[in-house]
Amino acid sequence: MIASYCQSCAIRNKAICSGLNDDELAQLNAIGRRRRLVAGERLLWEGDDAAVVANVIEGVMKLSTQTFDGKEQILGLAYSSDFLGRPFGQKTPYGVEALTDAYVCIFQRADFDRVAREHPDLEHKLLERTLSELDRTRRWMLLLGRMNAEQKLANFLLEMADRRANVGCADAPADDAAWSLPLSRQQIADVLGLTIETVSRQFTRMKKDGLIDLPSRREVAILERRMLEDLAA
């Protein structure tokens, strides 16, 4: 029954457990539990003991830290099949909060570390994820340091659309279908290092140019992906 649950899991082929056989999956599930989160509910607290790690099954999670003056800085977003927490670590490096209703598979870190050490394929997947996150962080540094406002927002929208589509989500948008932004305009501005006024102007300009549609303040549809990619380059 445990293996059957994993075999029918929507993220099985993309999560860190994708390389495990049925017996290994059963061992991993023996130490895991599934939990539903409502939007705004926190899963991990920055600086706490690294007690748990988790796979995101459904929903969008926010990774954030507190700046020296007490303000929140969003570090990134986690989607279905993303891995959260710090294996083999002592402290949680960032806070994690559900931006939408979410469903996660949680493991006690000590138990997960033990299983990972026993199964090289799982450790290999963890290493792959770590390197992918490093690459994404480097691209983000380029985005924030070298691009203008319209390039930043164009890249942000394209990456968000691609991340949603690549995980095979049931609500993944078609090319011209509207989808809900998990962040407010102010949060997008904070992520991109812009003001909310600049973000709003860029949204309005992209809509006027026919690149996107904005059915509501929290919805967006990419109408001309090729043109948006040219703008992001």
Mean pLDDT per block of 10 residues along the chain (233 residues) reads 59 74 80 92 92 91 87 85 85 90 92 86 78 75 81 91 66 65 90 92 96 92 94 87
CATH topology of domain 2-141: Jelly Rolls (2.60.120)
Stretch(es) of the chain classified as CATH 1.10.10.10: 148-232
Helix (H) or strand (E) holding 233: none
pTM: 0.79
Stretch(es) of the chain classified as CATH 2.60.120.10: 2-141
CATH topology of domain 148-232: Arc Repressor Mutant, subunit A (1.10.10)
Place of tokens 């919805």: 219
Cβ atoms 85, 109 nearer than 8 A: yes
Q: What is the pLDDT of residue 1?
A: 46
Residue spans of alpha helices (H) in the chain: 2-7, 22-30, 109-118, 120-146, 149-166, 185-192, 196-208, 225-232
* Tokens (6 digits) for 143: 């985005």
Cβ atoms 187, 74 nearer than 8 A: yes
